[in-house]
Amino acid sequence: MLKTSQLSAGKGKYGVTAIATMTSDGLVVQLTGGDKPHVGAVVMSLPRTSLSNPAVTSCNSYVLPRLNHKDDQLAKPIAEKLAKHYRMAVVVVAGLHIENATSQDIEKLIDNANLAVKKIMIALTN
The model's pTM: 0.94
- Evaluate the CA torsion angle 7, 12, 15, 20 in order and state its sign: positive
Q: Is the pLDDT of residue 126 over 90?
A: no
The CA–CA distances, whole Å, from 63 to 60, 100, 108, 122, 123 equal 10, 25, 23, 26, 26
In total, the chain counts a number of residues equal to 126
Mean confidence (pLDDT) of the chain: 95
**Half-sphere exposure (Cβ direction) of 4: Cα atoms closer than 13 Å:** 3
R_g (Cα) of the chain, nearest Å: 14
**Which of residues 124 and 63 earns the better pLDDT score?**
63
- Evaluate the CA torsion angle 106, 109, 111, 113 in order and state its sign: negative
120, 85 Cβ separation under 8 angstroms: no
Q: Which domains does the chain have, with CATH numbers?
A: 1-68+78-97 (3.30.230.100)
Please name every residue paired with 103 in a beta bridge, in sequence order, or none if there are none: none
* pLDDT tens per residue across span 53-85: 999 999 999 999 999 999 999 999 999 999 999
The confidence band for 30, taking pLDDT boundaries of 50, 70 and 90, is very high
* pLDDT tens per residue across span 36-54: 999 999 999 999 999 999 9
Residue 6, pLDDT score: 95
* pLDDT tens per residue across span 87-103: 999 999 999 999 999 99
